[in-house]
Structure 1
Amino acid sequence: MSDAPAADAAPKKKGKLKMIVIGAVGVIVLLGGGVGAGLYAAGSGMVGGGGKPAAHDDPNKPKLVPKSEQKHPGAGGEGGEGGEGGHGGGEGAAEGGEGGEGGGEAHGAPTPEGHGGEPYASNYFAMEKEFTSNLQDSVHFIQIGLAVSTPYDDKVITNLKTNDIAIRSAILLTLGDTPEDQVFTGAGKAQLQKRLVATINQVLREKEGFGGISNVYFTTFVVQ
């Protein structure tokens, strides 16, 4: 009879031991999860000091220039490259056809009509030499002068000058692939402008990792 209580106590002790072990494992899991979450947050930049700077914080990347900071002819810098903003419609919007480069090179959404036009300045640059090329499957040839605009700072213009030879070659190839009917109408010329923007930005992205050209303008346009 005296052995019964001892026999009953053994299962109870085992049950308590299991509960203690399970509780300890739960605490370890919770602690491990908390440490893992903390390391993830630090690595992703969610908590201060631990993450890498975002791509848009790269000091070497061109920066958008607000209108309040734009340069004017005769106000210093490279003569006349900071012109009046808001011309050309496409300036200040994302680059035509560019979907990479850190989520797209957003130039800023245009402001509503009557509220100051585009929020960013137009930095203009006229390319020095004209371009002459045959047209696609045509006896005619085209000769054009080009200027470009960007809402970014002078780093884009510097990249354009640095890669002048590659850009000129790409523009001539684009002109050579232009059908005759595209150069005799306003709609066709507007389409050619978009193609030239895409051509220039493609070369700049390949060479410098950043496009930035928002529009091109014809300073001369002759078809013979």
Structure 2
Amino acid sequence: MSDTPETAAPAKKKGKLMKFLLIGVGAIALLGGGVAGGLYASGNLGGGDHAEAEADTPRLVPKDEEKRAAAPEGESGGEEGAAAKAEGMPTPKGSGGDKYASNYYAMEKEFTSNLLDSVHFVQVGIAVSTPYDDRVIENIKTHEIAVRSAVLMALGETDEEAVFTTQGKTALQKRLAAAINATLKEKEGFGGVGNVYFTNFVVQ
């Protein structure tokens, strides 16, 4: 017995409906795949170059993280925290100071340079500090020759007046930090030095 026109019409409609549904689902899948592929290529999905570069840069070290790492197992807060606990007082948090830990590095050899337009010369020992992890210090050690050259160039551009006043020495510290950071950025793409300190300062 053959299908009557009444039963054949709904079957045709059902087949057309399924075809449109499949085309719609396929279009959505293609569109979603294209968006995901674009995000992946731009580095916003699944890591990418941006995420790798971010992971490769030095990381700021919060003070509380450094204290936890340095404290013996089961203890925190150091001597002040232990004393406060013994007296039944709350552990002091500290209301001032830097938010991040300071990582220090003293350069081994001193620097000697003539002063600008002067018969005098200056001899300084310097140390640097950074709020970042050990990678900044490692970068300084790796590129020590370039860093030393940058420091000597900055010292050679310093005039006599700058080395005899506190304000001049403070300005020189900032110039030296900028010179070191510029060298590290050129070599590693990241500076990270926060301050330069004088461990020795002689003018002759």
Q: TM-score range by the shorter chain?
A: 0.5 to 0.7
Q: Offset at 1:197?
A: 0.4
Q: Offset at 1:45?
A: 5.6
* Amino acid in structure 1 at the alignment position of 2:158: T
Check the 8 A contact 2:173/2:196 in 1, yes or no: yes
Question: Which of the residues 200, 206, 215 maps onto 2:195?
Answer: 215
Q: Offset at 1:117?
A: 2.1
**For the structure 1 residues 56 and 197, does the alpha-carbon distance in structure 2 shift closer, same or farther, using more than 3 Å as the test?**
farther
TM (norm. structure 2) is 0.65
The equivalent of 1:151 in structure 2 is 131
The equivalent of 2:109 in structure 1 is 129
Matched, 1:201 2:197: no
Q: Distance in 2 between matches of 1:213 and 1:55?
A: 23
Matched, 1:60 2:56: yes
* Amino acid in structure 1 at the alignment position of 2:114: N
Q: Which has the higher helix share?
A: 2
Aligned-pair identity (%): 61
Q: Offset at 1:153?
A: 0.5
Q: Distance in 2 between matches of 1:135 and 1:55?
A: 45
Specify the SS of the correspondent of 1:222: strand
Q: Distance in 1 between matches of 2:151 and 2:140?
A: 13
Q: Distance in 2 between matches of 1:45 and 1:60?
A: 15
**For the structure 1 residues 119 and 176, does the alpha-carbon distance in structure 2 shift closer, same or farther, using more than 3 Å as the test?**
same
Structure 2, unmatched stretches of 5+, are 1-27, 71-93
Q: Offset at 1:208?
A: 1.2
The equivalent of 1:96 in structure 2 is none
Q: Distance in 1 between matches of 2:111 and 2:62?
A: 32
Q: Distance in 2 between matches of 1:56 and 1:185?
A: 46
Q: Offset at 1:58?
A: 3.0
Matched, 1:115 2:95: yes
Q: How many residues of Structure 1 are paired with residues of Structure 2 in the alignment?
A: 154
